[in-house]
Chains A and B, each alone.
Chain A
Amino acid sequence: MTRLEKFQNNRHALGWAFMLPATVLLLLFLTYPLGLGTWLGFTDAKIGRAGEFIGLENFSFLVTDSVTRLALFNTLFYTVVASIAKFGLGLWLAMLLNKRLPFQSFFRAVVLLPWIVPTALSAIAFWWIFDAQFSIISWVLMKLGLIDRYIDFLGDPWNARFSTIIANVWRGIPFVAISLLAGLQTISPSYYEASAIDGATPWQQFRHITLPLLTPIIAVVMTFSVLFTFTDFQLIYVLTRGGPLNATHLMATLAFQRAISGGALAEGAAIATLMVPFLLAAIMFSYFGLQRRAWQQGGDK
């Protein structure tokens, strides 16, 4: 047997060989940048200048920095409110699309549009909706005589927060809806038939069949949704650049502003690193969601 044949017949060696490309890709494009980013957070690097290790100094400053604290609050608020809205509306939309509708595939395709359009483009569309002087909403309401001055969508801190959340929800719903729709279609109709014979109401069907069987999908979808929302950047950058008065600055936009525009690479990296615990928490949530699935299917765990 030649060496090559030996190698080809060795399950372990072959297994490692097949995994090699993926491993290299992951190490090169995920682990390395992540590691480098984390390391930078512990240095005083500037753009164009390598830094020296300074321990936790960046973090101890950021904890006291009012803008960073505001950005953390904004990010959590943005993520929680937008994710709940996306989940509720997305689930509702998925159930509607799961019913027999005329032009079913057409509707399912159209729903995906907001997800397909590049964020920068949809953000520009929202810009026109929320503009202080040219807002289409304000214009219509003015014409209808319902308001006497334009709504300051992006100029008032709380208005701006909710406006950006609405834009994010609009953009994120299709992902949630289509994924949940896929989940709904894996549920066997026989459960519904059986429960109907037993006289279950639609609410009972939803509560005791749909929801439990959909839980694993929900866990995965919502994890991704939370991750996307938490790390959102483009939408804010185009709509408000973090304004007014930093009321919509997210961790990601603040990290960019400090690191790239401001040249404080290390501080930006530290802000980005501060996001990691929250992201990890979201991933843990998904992990335990998946555990529950094993339990539901009669597994030991």
Chain B
Amino acid sequence: MSDFDNRRKILKGSAGAAAAASLGAGGMIFSPLAQAQNMTFKPEKGAKLRVLRWSRFVQGDIDAYMANVKKFTEATGIEVRVDNEGWEDVRPKAAVAANTGAGPDIILSTNDDANLYPEKLLDVTDLAEYLGKKYGGWYPAVQQYLRPDGKKWLGLGLGAAGSMIVYRQSMVKAAGFDTFPKDTAGFLALHKALKEKGTPGGYALGNATGDSLWTNWLIWSHGGKLVDKNNKVVIDSPETLKALEYGKELYPNFIPGTLSWLDPNNNKAFLDGQISVTNNGISIYYAAKNSTDPKVKELAADINHASFPIGPAGVPTESHLFFNQMIFKYTKYPQAAKEFLRFMMEREQFDNWLIGAGGYIAQPLAAYESCSIWTSDPKHTPYRDSVKNMRPTGYEGKLGYASAGAGADFIIANMVAEAISGSKPPKEAMERAQKRAERYYKV
């Protein structure tokens, strides 16, 4: 795209902002002298912002985030209050804020939240397009989450907490694998070999909100999916059956007890050396590296990460916890809020935040693939492409109440657990899932 086109687009965006300015709000300043692509929003006089975000999984995240917030306050004089809540509590709070029209100006939430109340969110198309252009484009999954109609941006992507394969190098090697398998056939062979060596793997099969996401991968990697493009439930399919039968072969090689596993179980079992491979955020490695227990610290050297293997579907089909950033229409300071998000997403700040989060968060914009966190320790690298290789929850339908409800009700996770543990025949588990999902996706 030529420079001229860029300018025209940005000027077009500023027309709307200028209209807002005439109503007493701030406007956007286009400065041709600086880089042609730079955009700023002029905060309203006396603006103050309240931000609600999910509380950190790793301390470095919030430290770096707050350092950036402080920088913003110093640069603009805008006071920003940041509240933290457990990520599962942010969703109901955000929904209530949207419904009552009062609450934080900006909420950082998860997955398909923005799709539940799109009409309550401030249109951030200009900002999103600006950032997209400047930083190599938003990954497809981000667009599916936040630009559902292909035009209007409901919010900005923030990133995703990658849930990758975490394994013990020595044990995988002892089982006869020099590198971690890249396809589902190799993955199964590895788990059989690991089990024989007495160092099994394990993946959460309980109602674990984060770590049970691997069950999405299991279904997607074999071409199964909950719904098609038109939100028709199609989980009862030959592809799903194949996935479940594959899972049935995989499950006996797990450590006993995975049916009861919630989110913390695999971390504990892994750090205790009881399992050789699981799926998790980078937090296990992070915890091991920073542990005061010398034995656990030693473990860090043996930990490595890998992307989820690719199955018959032929493409990466990962499932991660996605984070968004939403500005609510009720905010009194829309320009200040946009300026805040812009500031936080610019390289000078965002790089530092990614580094602070220690690889726990992967970027939503392609240009940040070059962030030093992904190369400062080669073990971080697999997490780099989390958002790039991710599919949104509720793939491949439209996102909204149905996808949110089906996800929270553990329909896929329950189906996989029932089928692969042998508690129900795969066919029956699949039909049950179909019926449960149809309820959510009914018109």
Interface set of A (CB-CB < 8 Å, partner B): 46-50, 61, 65-67, 130-134, 149-150, 152-157, 160, 240-246, 257-258, 260-264
Interface string of B65-106 (1 = CB under 8 A from A): 000000000000000000000001001101110110000000
B409 with A258: CB separation less than 8 A: yes
Given the complex, which residues of B lie within 8 Å of A134, measured CB to CB? 268, 272
Partner of B418, one of A48, A150, A245: A245
Q: For the complex, what is the distance from the CA of A61 to the CA of B414, rounded to whole Å?
A: 19
B259 with A263: CB separation less than 8 A: no
A-B contact pairs, 24 of them (CB 8 A): A47-B96, A47-B99, A48-B98, A48-B116, A49-B401, A50-B99, A65-B436, A66-B432, A132-B257, A153-B260, A154-B260, A155-B259, A241-B206, A243-B205, A243-B260, A244-B206, A245-B423, A246-B414, A257-B207, A260-B92, A262-B404, A262-B408, A262-B409, A264-B440
Q: Is B208 an interface residue (CB 8 A)?
A: yes
Given the complex, which residues of A lie within 8 Å of B120, measured CB to CB? 48
A46 with B401: CB separation less than 8 A: yes
Q: Is B441 an interface residue (CB 8 A)?
A: no
Given the complex, which residues of A lie within 8 Å of B435, measured CB to CB? 66
Query: For residue B98, which residue of chain A has the nearest CB?
Result: A48
Given the complex, which residues of A lie within 8 Å of B96, measured CB to CB? 47-48
- In the complex, besides A46-B116, A48-B116, 18 extra interface pairs with C-beta distance below 8 angstroms are A46-B401, A47-B92, A61-B439, A65-B439, A67-B409, A131-B268, A132-B261, A154-B260, A157-B423, A160-B260, A240-B262, A241-B207, A245-B421, A258-B405, A262-B404, A262-B405, A263-B95, A263-B405
Query: For residue A254, which residue of chain B has the nearest CB?
Result: B409
Partner of A263, one of B272, B401, B414: B401
Q: Is B256 an interface residue (CB 8 A)?
A: yes
A133 with B265: CB separation less than 8 A: yes
Q: B431 CB to closest chain A CB, in angstroms?
A: 11
B117 with A48: CB separation less than 8 A: yes
Partner of B436, one of A50, A67, A152, A241: A67
Q: For the complex, what is the distance from the CA of A6 to the CA of B96, rounded to whole Å?
A: 48
Interface string of B335-374 (1 = CB under 8 A from A): 0000000000000000000000000000000000000000
B207 with A155: CB separation less than 8 A: no
Q: For the complex, what is the distance from the CA of A242 to the CA of B255, rounded to whole Å?
A: 21
Query: For residue A134, which residue of chain B has the nearest CB?
Result: B268
Q: Is B131 an interface residue (CB 8 A)?
A: no
Q: Is B274 an interface residue (CB 8 A)?
A: yes
Interface string of B427-443 (1 = CB under 8 A from A): 00000100110011000
